[in-house]
Amino acid sequence: MEGQRTITAAAAGDVSVDECRLIRLRTVDDPRGSLTIVEADLDIPFAIERVYHLHGVPVGGSRGGHAHHRLEQVLVAVAGALDVVLDDGASRRRVRLDDPRNGLYIPPGIWREMESFSEGTVCLALASMPYDPADYERDYDDFLARRGS
């Protein structure tokens, strides 16, 4: 994880969607199946404070529609597939998560929407902070204004 930028809350206002990236997670394959590993501060660039997973989302359903002021996350489609739409107020990227060996790192300051869930999708989220409703930006116009867009 060398050379990566440390993102503070103050810097989150100028984070680009290019700073979201897929992390190929270490995986051990053998005849019994595969085992994928995530160690905090080793495989992903933060200490994990919280874990949750999304499941039972209707096919084609969507979630999200917010940004975070300070939270860093890694999302992993441990089963099924979904699209994550990333938006920094100037640019958008769509990333398909359909491989349990891939984690999508999302820094603070990025608007995200999750769409196009397939049947039986389970999306694991590894989060850098405890749950804090005050960390959410849920109004897209406010988000754009804060980003100066």
Q: Is 55 in the site for ligand T46 (CB under 6 A)?
A: no
**13, 21, 49, 63: residue in contact with ligand T46 (rule CB under 6 A):** 63
Kindly indicate which of the ranges 13-21, 36-44, 47-55, 88-96 contains the residues binding ligand T46, using the contact rule CB under 6 A.
Answer: 47-55
> Quick count: other Cβ atoms within 10 Å of Cβ 10?
7
Candidate list 55, 66, 68, 69, residue with the active-site label: 66
- Residue 17 one-letter amino acid: V
Which residues make Cβ contacts (< 8 Å) with residue 2, sequence separation at least 6? none
Rounded to the nearest whole angstrom, what is the least distance from the CB of residue 20 to ligand T46 in the complex? 12
Instruction: Please identify, among the stretches 1-9, 20-28, 49-57, 95-103, the one whose residues bind ligand T46 according to the rule CB under 6 A.
Output: 49-57
Alpha carbon of residue 114 to chain centroid: 10
61 near ligand T46, rule: CB under 6 A: no
- And the tokens for 16? 């680009």
Q: Is 53 in the site for ligand T46 (CB under 6 A)?
A: no
Minimum CB distance to ligand T46, residue 4 (Å): 20
Q: How far is CA 35 from the centre of its chain?
A: 21
Q: What is the DSSP letter of 109?
A: T
Q: Residue 108: how many CB atoms within 10 A of its CB?
A: 23
68 catalytic? Reply is no
Q: Which of residues 34 and 125 has its CB atom nearest to ligand T46 in the complex?
A: 125
What's phi and psi for 87, nearest 5 deg? -145, 125
Q: Which residues sit at the interface with ligand T46, rule CB under 6 A? A: 50, 52, 54, 63-64, 73, 75, 112, 125, 131
Catalytic residues, which ones? 66
